[in-house]
Chain A
């Protein structure tokens, strides 16, 4: 909420400076979001008198003026305004001044060959209004040479963020009241313009929805003359960011902004029959003042007459019964609406307004008659007319909340000792009534007060939060205990292992486009109100985000890229932690040592995947490489790692070319995915934690290796043969690895040659020839079961 310092001082008697006021506002919880001093924006603009005006020698529409600036010789200024003429008073911007409307700094220049030393300004150029038909004309008695800001009476504008619990501060007066309670001055009594009410209100007023509209006060003023509002009011409204519309409209806005009290003015000529607050009928329509038509339902309150709905109660008036230039008789409405109902209606209609903001937070129920009298007085004073008596339907809530308060709570909760008499004074200054035994009666405008904790807040914020001293949290004796869970430790290890292996950690959006989600099997959670179509579906996989990043990177000309992300996948039944990595393009660039660049392949993904799983503490030795890694992968170059057929831990391989195409990626991508939640947790032994490992002594005897070359059917996975070989003699074979894989000359069609190096570890005595032969026979026999034949 914005207001000028001048406006604040209408209600607050104070000697405080602007910075004292803004500091105090911040300290009491009315956060200052900004202060704008128009005088700064108008620096360099002065009141000036046009002495002479002559046609520009080379331009039809320009004039050459001489201007008296009040100091030194008159200046020559070129001006294009049709109303510029000798003898007029205006506003001159001199070189160095910055034009508020466009930020341009004025300079001495030549316009079509004629020197110009500044600019005579229009209303729009100084952002004082929309008018731009000509330059500003000031009255003849305007003081030449005076700064225009001073002459114009510009006052600094304070922008305060009002939290939803403080509707009582949604008017300048309420802010003044809080400042006064904080000791920054004295609250001035409200100046009610006097008027005489004569005769009963000629319009019947009713509320047929006592829950939604408990109170509806009305009054007719006849014989008013609408027109522009006076300058002082326009200036105040402008400081609040409100555009002046017409006197009658401006007056309701003024009362709302000054006192937080929304009101509505109807053109009486456009009403017929009794004016009633009632529930809307389902499907009933109204054209609101914003020129949009709203369809209502029976949860909403409206103000209607015999013919039509004229007001979406508490939110926005109707276009058809609004006041206009020719309005002469008006009906004033001041009502109290149920805050919850207003909120629901506003949300249903998607309609925001200053009135709604106030009503849904709760206006002061004690300020109906006063508000109506204030509005009536201002209307009769400024627009003339004769006011009727008030007509009143229903009554606003009047039960004040009483909170029994223990002043010790201020120290217990707020951590600050405030003497009882100061606590009492603070509460009373804020309008609370405090009994001798500390029953605190809350003012009705403070509907935010729920209990004693709220009173502590009132005391502490006015007393000052700076008085709260830091107090150390009690801590356990000794060294802090570990707190990380197994899942958290797993994630940390994986993250640092991945980064230590050359991958950069990325964080990508949790939401992706529908198309991207569909490309990886479809998403399960689609936002109702996405910020854009690109960020709509909760990702079922981390791959799309990384592929998009890869696409951007390669579009910029990258040659290689390694990225990973640890985050959640959002599936129908919950959120699952995953690590996905992509390795794209060059694994090693072309080099003087190795020649051509080497590109990432599926084995890089496999190596990385196993390395990360090992770092994570997964039982890597027990993992089986199995097929069916899913549609995102190249069907012939991908696999899963499983603990048993149904327990998939990870997948790896080359990404499917169709998927890459849909992301616009033209290079092969190796990828891997690890399901963090599928990695079995290490079983924690019962009892106290033990860090001891199984005992182990390195064997004294040297291990030996034996090579075997097998001829196997081409379709036999090497892993099957390896597993068979390893299992052939578990007491002696500690490792087996393929060191050659060959097809072609010398290998029969449909076969391949696999050469395996087997490592044997003797235990308590060295191998004899017979031992080695027995082991070799076991290996050959086990391999034969897989269809492998020892090559001669």
Chain B
């Protein structure tokens, strides 16, 4: 037994001293292998008397257990040291740049159009569209601007060559040709006519899209974006118009202190006609919408035109003006985008400069939702 104890001690010492898995394995074979001294000691049990065996066996088993545990412990130790060494050798410089994940953007006009759709959907408005190459009748006549109407002159219209002048049907009267003369829509209002003709009343739509005026300077481009709003029902009045615009601007700018001012104006397709202003303050060189326009440091800014749809327009669109009435409004999308997101140059909107688009564009994951708020913070 003493011999066994001594051997155990020697083996444990050697296990403790092993620095490689191979050395450890050698010790395992020497002790626990088929011909190892522990195995050999166990084999001696067969030649013993039962009483003797009863006495010696537990001792040998204990030694075997002790050695095996020591080997396992040492093995774990050596393996984790080896792993650490391997990991240390695999260290890389993570301050080196990684490949860029390409980053795209959504144009501010598209983003704002999505915001408009989201807000107005909550108020029950659908989004309607119409052609940009429009005929004279839908753009003017049906909006109560006949051929000789002076308001037409305010529209700076882009025209396409008159079909009649190119040898069109000589049988058609000059008036009929005039009605069909093609032009680029000067406003989104013709969509009112088309939508009412298609759907009748009651109706709630917004119609965002491109519009065109022959006008170009620092604040005007010959193409820009407008959104039309139209509500026709039985008892709609100017108070509903005011609420709708206020409610929209509050949701759009995400502030409760929006103050709206209506001012009388004139549009042939509405009666009464009003322009709407919002209060704003100058902060630095930026206009910040909010507050009362007459408050100190504040002023009013015109944002669009609106009014109660003229009964002649309803008639043109096939809606009974004695049964239905309602309001329409129009406002510039580029304009409210600039106000909200702080751009100052309209021309840059249409330049396709990736530097501008990266800066003012939106992450595709900033999909406007009511629950998150329709605005995207920088």
| Chain A residues packing against B (C-beta within 8 Å) | 26-29, 31, 163-166, 339-340, 343-344, 347, 357, 360-361, 411-416, 448, 450-451, 453-454, 456-457, 460-461, 465-466, 468-476, 480-485, 488, 492, 495-511, 525-531, 535, 538, 545-546, 548-550, 552-553, 558, 561-568, 570, 574-575, 588-589, 591-593
Establish whether residues B351 and A416, one from each chain, have CB atoms under 8 Å apart when the complex forms.
no
Establish whether residues A526 and B272, one from each chain, have CB atoms under 8 Å apart when the complex forms.
no
Residues facing A in B102-144 (CB within 8 A) are 102-107, 109-110, 114, 117, 121-127, 131-133
**Contact segment of B20-28, B35-43, B71-79, B361-369:** B361-369
Neighbour of B148 across the interface among A340, A411, A488, A563, CB < 8 A: A340
Instruction: With A29-B265, A413-B272 as known contacts, state yes or no: A483 contacts B239, CB within 8 Å.
Output: no
Docked pose: A667 CA to B235 CA in angstroms: 62
Docked pose: A497 CA to B367 CA in angstroms: 11
Residues of B within 8 A of A545 (CB): 352
Min CB distance B107 to A, Å, is: 4
**Contact segment of B80-88, B154-162, B186-194:** B154-162
B374 within 8 A of A: no
Establish whether residues B150 and A525, one from each chain, have CB atoms under 8 Å apart when the complex forms.
no
Number of A-B residue pairs with CB-CB distance less than 8 Å in the complex they form: 263
Establish whether residues A473 and B231, one from each chain, have CB atoms under 8 Å apart when the complex forms.
yes
Q: Is the interface of A mostly helix, strand, loop or mixed?
A: mixed
Docked pose: A459 CA to B271 CA in angstroms: 12
Docked pose: A412 CA to B261 CA in angstroms: 20
| Chain B residues packing against A (C-beta within 8 Å) | 96-97, 99-107, 109-110, 114, 117, 121-127, 131-133, 147-151, 153-154, 158-162, 182, 184, 210, 212, 214-216, 222-223, 231, 233, 235-244, 246-247, 261-266, 268, 271-275, 308, 310-312, 325, 349-354, 357-358, 361-365, 367
Establish whether residues A339 and B311, one from each chain, have CB atoms under 8 Å apart when the complex forms.
no
Residues of A within 8 A of B222 (CB): 509, 511, 531, 535
Residues of A within 8 A of B244 (CB): 473
Residue of B nearest to A162 (CB): B266
Docked pose: A570 CA to B132 CA in angstroms: 9
Most buried by B among A411, A525, A564, A566: A525
Most buried by B among A27, A500, A504: A504
Establish whether residues A339 and B148, one from each chain, have CB atoms under 8 Å apart when the complex forms.
yes
Establish whether residues B352 and A530, one from each chain, have CB atoms under 8 Å apart when the complex forms.
no
The 4 closest A-B pairs by CB, nearest first: A502-B102, A549-B352, A29-B264, A415-B239
Docked pose: A531 CA to B184 CA in angstroms: 13
Most buried by A among B103, B148, B150: B150
Establish whether residues A461 and B160, one from each chain, have CB atoms under 8 Å apart when the complex forms.
no
Establish whether residues B266 and A496, one from each chain, have CB atoms under 8 Å apart when the complex forms.
no
Min CB distance A533 to B, Å, is: 13
Establish whether residues B160 and A526, one from each chain, have CB atoms under 8 Å apart when the complex forms.
yes
Establish whether residues A473 and B124, one from each chain, have CB atoms under 8 Å apart when the complex forms.
yes
Instruction: With A26-B263, A416-B238, A501-B104 as known contacts, state yes or no: A549 contacts B158, CB within 8 Å.
Output: no
Establish whether residues A412 and B237, one from each chain, have CB atoms under 8 Å apart when the complex forms.
yes
Docked pose: A549 CA to B353 CA in angstroms: 7
Establish whether residues A510 and B223, one from each chain, have CB atoms under 8 Å apart when the complex forms.
yes
Residues of A within 8 A of B153 (CB): 164, 347
Min CB distance B150 to A, Å, is: 4
Residues of A within 8 A of B147 (CB): 344
Residues of B within 8 A of A549 (CB): 351-353
Establish whether residues B237 and A562, one from each chain, have CB atoms under 8 Å apart when the complex forms.
no
Docked pose: A174 CA to B348 CA in angstroms: 43
Residues of A within 8 A of B216 (CB): 531
Establish whether residues A531 and B214, one from each chain, have CB atoms under 8 Å apart when the complex forms.
yes
Residues of A within 8 A of B131 (CB): 574-575
Establish whether residues A484 and B160, one from each chain, have CB atoms under 8 Å apart when the complex forms.
no
Establish whether residues A163 and B104, one from each chain, have CB atoms under 8 Å apart when the complex forms.
no
Instruction: With A510-B132, A528-B159, A545-B352 as known contacts, state yes or no: A496 contacts B367, CB within 8 Å.
Output: yes
Residue of B nearest to A460 (CB): B272
Docked pose: A526 CA to B183 CA in angstroms: 10
Docked pose: A626 CA to B345 CA in angstroms: 44
Docked pose: A475 CA to B243 CA in angstroms: 13
Min CB distance B18 to A, Å, is: 41
Residues of A within 8 A of B104 (CB): 498-505, 562, 564
Residue of B nearest to A587 (CB): B102
Establish whether residues B105 and A499, one from each chain, have CB atoms under 8 Å apart when the complex forms.
yes
Min CB distance B221 to A, Å, is: 9
Establish whether residues A592 and B96, one from each chain, have CB atoms under 8 Å apart when the complex forms.
yes
Docked pose: A300 CA to B325 CA in angstroms: 40
Residue of A nearest to B300 (CB): A26
Establish whether residues A453 and B308, one from each chain, have CB atoms under 8 Å apart when the complex forms.
yes
Residues of A within 8 A of B124 (CB): 473, 475-476, 480-481, 483
Establish whether residues A568 and B132, one from each chain, have CB atoms under 8 Å apart when the complex forms.
yes
Establish whether residues A507 and B96, one from each chain, have CB atoms under 8 Å apart when the complex forms.
no
Residue of B nearest to A527 (CB): B158
Docked pose: A457 CA to B235 CA in angstroms: 17
Docked pose: A501 CA to B365 CA in angstroms: 12
Min CB distance A363 to B, Å, is: 13
Q: Could you list 12 further interchain pairs (A-B, Cβ under 8 angstroms) beyond the known A453-B310, A480-B124, A531-B216? A: A344-B148, A414-B237, A473-B123, A497-B364, A499-B104, A499-B361, A505-B104, A507-B107, A510-B212, A562-B102, A564-B104, A588-B99
Neighbour of B105 across the interface among A29, A357, A497, A504, CB < 8 A: A504
Establish whether residues B121 and A465, one from each chain, have CB atoms under 8 Å apart when the complex forms.
no
Neighbour of A508 across the interface among B114, B266, B350, CB < 8 A: B350
Instruction: With A164-B150, A510-B223, A529-B214 as known contacts, state yes or no: A412 contacts B235, CB within 8 Å.
Output: yes
Residue of B nearest to A564 (CB): B104
Residues of B within 8 A of A29 (CB): 263-266
